[in-house]
Each structure stands twice: as structure tokens, then as C-alpha cells.
């Protein structure tokens, strides 16, 4: 069951980014300025990319900035959780007494 949740957590934000981009390509491309930023966001920080593209056309207010910060923290926690979970398999993280 844990593997299913992990796969969904990795796939769902990227599917949302693809659906959003497919439905309104002009708005998404103008939000990022370059397709490279959109691609990097898709690969590295998908929640932040999704919410940035959602809020960029209307401008950023206090609530949207809070949502962006939370999305960035979720993306960073995803990377950090993977590193923390695999620390036993990497020799530099093991205790050497």
C-alpha cells in the first residue's frame, strides 16, 4: 500500500501540470517565459510549478504566496524524504565507529 501512495504522490502533480499546460498552453508559456523553466519545474518541483502557473495570470496576493511556499515545502520534503529513506544504503551516511 505504501508503494501505491508513493507512486501517486510522484505522478499526480505531474499529471496536473500536463493537463493544465494542454488546456491553456499560451497562459502557461507566458507564465514561465521559457519552456526550459516549465520543463525543469515539471521534473523537479511539480507542485510549485502547478500553483505558480495557476496564480501567475491573476497576480500574487498574500494567500497565493502562502500556497506557493507550502507547495515548495512539499516538493522539498519529497526530495528530502527520499534522501532520508535511502540513507542506510549509502555508505557515507552510516556510522563508523
- pLDDT at position 18 over 80: yes
Q: What integer pLDDT is reported at residue 69 of this predicted model?
A: 94
The contacts of residue 46 (CB under 8 Å, 6+ apart) are: 13, 14, 16, 17, 75
User: Of 1-10, 48-57, 60-69, 81-90, which range is least confident?
Assistant: 81-90
Q: What integer pLDDT is reported at residue 14 of this predicted model?
A: 93
The rounded distance, in Å, linking the Cα atoms of 5 and 9 is 6
- Average pLDDT on 75-94 reads 67
Q: What integer pLDDT is reported at residue 8 of this predicted model?
A: 83
Q: Is the pTM of this model over 0.85?
A: no
Confidence of residue 32 (pLDDT cuts 50, 70, 90): confident
What are the boundaries of each domain within the chain? 2-87
Q: What integer pLDDT is reported at residue 81 of this predicted model?
A: 64
Amino acid at each position: 500500500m505504501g508503494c501505491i501512495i508513493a507512486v501517486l504522490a510522484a505522478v499526480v502533480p505531474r499529471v496536473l501540470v500536463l493537463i493544465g499546460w494542454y488546456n491553456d498552453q499560451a497562459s502557461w508559456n507566458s507564465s514561465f517565459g521559457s519552456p526550459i523553466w516549465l520543463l525543469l519545474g515539471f521534473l523537479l518541483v511539480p507542485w510549485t510549478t502547478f500553483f505558480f502557473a495557476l496564480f501567475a495570470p491573476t497576480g500574487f496576493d498574500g494567500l497565493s504566496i502562502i500556497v506557493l511556499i507550502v507547495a515548495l515545502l512539499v516538493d522539498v520534503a519529497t526530495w528530502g524524504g527520499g534522501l532520508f529513506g535511502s540513507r542506510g544504503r549509502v555508505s557515507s551516511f552510516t556510522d563508523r565507529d
